[in-house]
Structure 1
Amino acid sequence: MPRYAESERQSLADLLVTLGPDGPTINEGWATRDLAAHLVVRDRRPDAALGIVFRPLSGHTERLLRAAATRPYPELIDLLRHPPRWSPVSNPWLDELTNSMEFYIHHEDVRRALPDWQPRDLSPEHQGALWKQVRMMARMSLRRFPAALLVQAPGHGEASSGAGGEPVRLVGSPGELAVFLMGRQRVARVQLTGSATLTERLRTKKLGA
């Protein structure tokens, strides 16, 4: 069985080494060092998630991220490459479920900050694995969007979502739809059709993480 989470993790680590600690990402305020610190904290400090869910604890999460970012960069990358087996998000039983989308998206966060980037030619199997998660994301995160929304990945399937009303259609490969639905709409290569008001609202809606 392909291990997309592991391959994306290692490919991202390789790219982070190439770019160094001050390389660009599309995440506002984050350089490559900050993104690596986020992933290391995610692997090793489950309590960091509390600051994301509960705003009063956000300072705790920020302190953990700042502390991780002060580590020597080669050490940070080594920690990223070798997550602990006990971690609730990176243990061998849950790694693919919890990390295949996470590391695909963060790999793209770095790739798409570079000049002249192009979408990767992912295998049909990898696209299919992403589509399973994209379909669920579309149904959950867009269920209240004020339109009859159809999300289509040619060759993989489609998902209906939205609260009903005017039709809007979002079309792209599973990889590009994943980027869009994870809140990176401005760098996602998709086709979006419908009224100008609704399509602009979807392009600027806060989505994902």
Structure 2
Amino acid sequence: MTVITDLRENLADVLEAVGPGSPTLCEGWDSQHLLAHLLLRETRPDAAAGIFLPPLKDRTERLLQERAEAMADPEGYARGVAEFREASPLSRRSARVDAAMNFVEYVIHREDARRGSAEATRRAAGVGPFAPDERQRVWDQLRPPLAMFAKDYPDGLELVGTDSEGRPALGSRTIRRPAAQSRVGGLVQRVVRAPSEGTFTVLEGEPVDLLLYLSGRQGAARVSRG
């Protein structure tokens, strides 16, 4: 077992606990839609292409709806969860590739299922973290490569990682530095400023909540903003 396989089992356990028909944080999706998305993504890359290629979006949506409908009852849903656990796409043959492709995806979708409703949270309450040091492992993912999540913070973004008591136990990390425009020779250039020269947005919270906030799930994330 590796960290990513442990996380996958953790995600599957949460999906199993909430059951079919449970609302998620993904607008318009219940738990069976989320499960269908994961299955298409890992077992049908041809069908999942519409996630990235707009011309194929309608086909992907149709296939997702078909899979979701087949998993709307408890028996079909249980088969879907088992299929997700046991799938063997090429990406899973390398722990490094598997983690690079799926770590952030799995954490976000686990919380999509767990926090979709009060009932889902209650049902999944007995499912523990995927690793004893989960908080640190998620914090380690919150680095500048996630700047794609920071596009809405042109004046800079800093994260402060806390423990469950709100203490800044994990330190702080600059995800995006502020940038100013200057005109040189008629060309507009982007100039990166030092942190002291810009007004950062500071987000403070536990790593999972910071990840949810940056991925557009602000309403479900316990994050304070400075």
Instruction: Give the equivalent residue in structure 2 for 1:28.
Output: 27
2:205 paired residue among 172, 180, 190: 172
Matched, 1:39 2:47: no
5+ residue gaps, structure 2: 71-75, 162-167, 180-197
Match of 2:223 in 1: 190
Query: Is the Cα contact below 8 Å between 2:144 and 2:175 reproduced in 1?
Result: no
Structure with greater Cα Rg: 2
Candidates 141, 149, 174, aligned match of 1:159: 174
Which letter does structure 1 place at the counterpart of 2:138? L
**Which residue of structure 1 lines up, in the alignment, with residue 192 of structure 2?**
none
Letter in 2 for 1:181: L
Alignment-derived partner of residue 190 in structure 2: none
User: Cα deviations across residues 180-208 of structure 1 (Å, max 9, x unaligned)?
Assistant: 11221111111101xxxxxxxxxxxxxxx
Q: Partner letter of residue 15 of structure 2?
A: L
Listed as ranges, the matches of 1:61-140 within 5 Å are 61-71=60-70, 72-84=76-88, 86-88=89-91, 90-93=92-95, 94-115=97-118, 117=121, 125-140=133-148
Instruction: Indicate if the aligned counterparts of 2:158 and 2:173 stay in contact, CA closer than 8 A.
Output: yes
The 3-state SS of whatever aligns with 1:30 is coil
- Tell me if the contact between 2:144 and 2:176 (Cα under 8 Å) persists in the aligned partners: no
1:123 to partner: Cα distance: 5.9
Contact 1:147 1:168 in 2 (8 A): yes
* 1:25–1:32 CA contact under 8 A, matched in 2: yes
Structure that is richer in strand per residue: 2
For structure 1, which segment, 183-192 or 46-55, has the greater mean C-alpha deviation from structure 2 after superposition? Answer: 46-55
**Cα deviation per residue 1:139-191 (whole Å; 9 max; x = unaligned)?**
34325623132222232541241544433211122221111112211111111
Q: How many residues align?
A: 190
1:43-54 matches, within 5 Å, as: 43-54=42-53
Deviation readout 1:55-100 (Å, 9 max, x if unpaired) = 111012112212322332222111111121x333x33432222222
Q: Secondary structure at the match of 1:103?
A: helix
TM-score between the two structures when normalised by the length of structure 2: 0.72
Query: Which runs of 5 or more structure 1 residues have no equivalent in the other structure?
Result: 194-209
CA deviation after TM superposition for structure 1 residue 132, in Å? 2.6
Letter in 2 for 1:78: A
Q: Percent identity?
A: 33
The answer (yes or no) to whether the contact 2:158–2:172 under 8 Å persists in 1 is: no
